[in-house]
Amino acid sequence: MRIIPAIDIIEGKCVRLSKGDYSTKKIYNKNPLEVAKAFEASGITYLHLVDLDGAKSKHIVNHKVLESICNNTNLKVDFGGGLKSDDDLRIAFECGANQITGGSIAANDPSIFNKWIEKYGNQKIILGADCNNRKIATHGWLEQSALDVIDFIKAYEKRSIQYVICTDIAKDGMLAGTSNKLYKEIISQTHVKLIASGGVSSIGDLVLLKALGCEGAIIGKAIYEGHITLKQLQKLC
């Protein structure tokens, strides 16, 4: 299972939220590149980079942070947040993103998202399936749709999507364990490569996610709050 630390960006700074609530913003480092380099020095290969300003603004905002990390580390970065147009995608890939994640666009404009899958291939495009009470949430989790998360994933699996990041918003940033029941259901009903996100609080959570069959696990606040150390991740990697 791939270990994928997360860096969330607001105004160029490394932050974390709780349950996606922007009012709970906590700044952990004003220099995201410094954080990325620390991850790389610990043997980390992958990074999940989220443009929270972009998610709110509905277009890419913090692409300079992406570019800085990609130019100064060898991390394989998947980038998401506010990618709504062909131009947004072009900018993200030109700035060095290895993969991009589309969530709101996949829910609200499937024709564009399907075009991206066809153009770039299913190794470059990740489906963001973030949900609250099983319903897909969009626009930085500020809006909720009527789409069931399992049905949403199944529909895109038919369009050849392979990678899916699923966040149970109720778990995100709460350091209270992951949504294992939901992940087990997704894995049993689909053949996607599931990347679990939200709620990781310990190495034990990672062991459970691996046992479930998750392809990857995204870790955020657990690292920043010291629940999981970089030394522990170094041993895992």
Question: Of residues 8, 51, 88, 205, which has the active-site annotation?
Answer: 8
The number of folded domains in the chain is 1
Q: What is the pLDDT along the chain (237 residues), one digit of tens a residue?
A: 999 999 999 999 999 988 778 889 999 999 999 999 999 999 999 999 999 999 889 899 999 999 999 999 999 999 999 999 999 999 999 999 999 999 999 999 999 999 999 999 999 999 999 998 899 988 766 678 889 999 999 999 999 999 999 998 888 767 778 999 999 999 999 999 999 999 999 999 999 999 999 999 999 999 999 999 999 998 887
The rounded distance, in Å, linking the Cα atoms of 219 and 160 is 26
Q: How many other C-beta atoms can be found within 10 angstroms of the C-beta atom of residue 95?
A: 20
The domain that holds 154 is classified in CATH as 3.20.20.70
Range of the domain at 42: 2-236
- Answer yes or no: 130 catalytic: yes
DSSP 23-81: EEEEEEES-HHHHHHHHHHTT--EEEEEEHHHHHHTS---HHHHHHHHHH---EEEEES
Whether the CA torsion 99, 104, 105, 110 is positive or negative: it is positive
**Which three-class secondary structure state does DSSP give residue 142?**
coil
- Answer yes or no: 8 catalytic: yes
Question: Of residues 53, 88, 130, 205, which has the active-site annotation?
Answer: 130
